[in-house]
Amino acid sequence: PLFIGIIYKIFGVHPLIAKHIQLILLIIIASFLPWIGAFFWGRTGFWSGFVAGTLYISKYYGTADVILTEPLITFSIFLVIVAFINFNTRKIRFSSALLGLSLGISLLVKGSLIFLPFLLAAGMMWQAYRQKSFGVVKRLVIVGASMTVTILPWSTYASITAGHLIILSTQGEAVLLDGNNEFSEDGGWHPEWRHDDEHFYKREEISELPLPIRVLKFYSSHPELFPRIFKDKLINAFTPFLGVWIILLLVIIDYWSSKIYQFFNKPAYIIFMLVSLLALLMFITLPFVLGIAADKLFAFSTNNLKDSLVFHVVLLGTLTAVAIDRKTMLSIKFPFILVIFFLNF
């Protein structure tokens, strides 16, 4: 609302202008993906970013015709990544302040990024501890101060208006309670518990506790639900993102191809690679051939996980490959900031 309010304040109430600005944000993100890829992975990253940018803008170009929050959320994440690159390459106070500013903006745009600053600080402190270099601590203080200054005006306004302390708008109750109850075994959002007066969360000794404590109490009373709900949340969250499953499949193919090459002859290796790549190609193109979205094609996995093997096989296969051949798999370069975003979500 604040973003749209600023646009309307400057240009007047013209939704078309807001849509055009959304499109500009998407174009900026797509244009910078080759540069971001090159920074992390060199020439390979540049061309990967070029392909990703092309696919990104072609897929989301149509969304600019509707006013949505997603383009602004994505752009705020993009700003944090760019600010972090600047933070790492230019070790000056101004770059620290910019990173704090970008984090503050991202938190104001999307409250669910609340874990990002803590994960970022913890990861950087761990890196500093391992390298015995604690100069980053001073820079993190500047990051925290800049982030606080960015958030403070809105937090002050919201707190005064509501009559109680509000730091961020996170929809915490809906996110925590509606996503962690007996009905959430499919990994989805279930507010049905609110209609049950005898529900665990409505008990007198539970209802007055802070939200995170309520959830912890729920899982301590129902420990058998935690692994099922967590696994299903993970699969449910990443089912629509075909690229995630392609990466996991590539990890499995890479592992087994190296083993076949090591223990068998070269023709067996070639045959395995051809069959694997053909199967992967079919996996990628099937949604387009059938003319339906990938998340619709694989929706059965989230609706009835017990009757589906594909996602369990992919996940377990990847974890097995990494566990058995950790030295090879952990040599893959995963940029720190991207891992932090993954952990946050």
Task: Provide the pLDDT for residue 2.
Answer: 65
Q: Which of 29-43, 93-107, 259-273 has the lowest mean pLDDT?
A: 259-273
Residue 240 phi, psi (nearest 5): -70, -15
Which residue has tokens 């001073």? 138
Band of residue 303 on the pLDDT scale cut at 50, 70, 90:
very low
Whether 118 and 168 have beta carbons less than 8 Å apart is answered as no
Calculate what percentage of the chain has a pLDDT beyond 70.
Answer: 69
Band of residue 40 on the pLDDT scale cut at 50, 70, 90:
confident
Residues 314, 317, 319, 320, Cα dihedral to 10°: 170
- Two structure tokens written together for 293: 């979205």
Calculate what percentage of the chain has a pLDDT beyond 90.
Answer: 5
State yes or no: pLDDT of 312 exceeds 80.
no
Task: Provide the pLDDT for residue 299.
Answer: 45
Distance CA 36, CA 28 (A): 12
Cα separation values, 166 from 33, 59, 157, 159, 194, Å? 35, 37, 9, 5, 24
Distance CA 190, CA 282 (A): 34
Give per-residue pLDDT as tens, 56-103: 887 777 776 777 777 888 888 899 999 999 988 888 888 889 999 999
Band of residue 307 on the pLDDT scale cut at 50, 70, 90:
very low
Give per-residue pLDDT as tens, 213-226: 888 888 888 888 88
Query: What mean pLDDT comes out for the span 197-225?
Result: 82
Task: Provide the pLDDT for residue 305.
Answer: 43
Which residue has tokens 């076949």? 260
pTM of this structure:
0.70
Task: Provide the pLDDT for residue 146.
Answer: 92
The 3-state DSSP class for residue 261 equals: helix
State yes or no: pLDDT of 109 exceeds 70.
yes
Exposed e or buried b per residue across 84-118, where buried means at least 16 C-beta atoms within 10 angstroms of its C-beta: bbbbeeeeeeebbbbbbbbbbbbbbbbeebbebbe
Amino acid symbol at 201: Y
State yes or no: pLDDT of 212 exceeds 50.
yes
Give per-residue pLDDT as tens, 146-188: 999 988 888 888 788 777 667 776 566 667 778 888 888 777 7
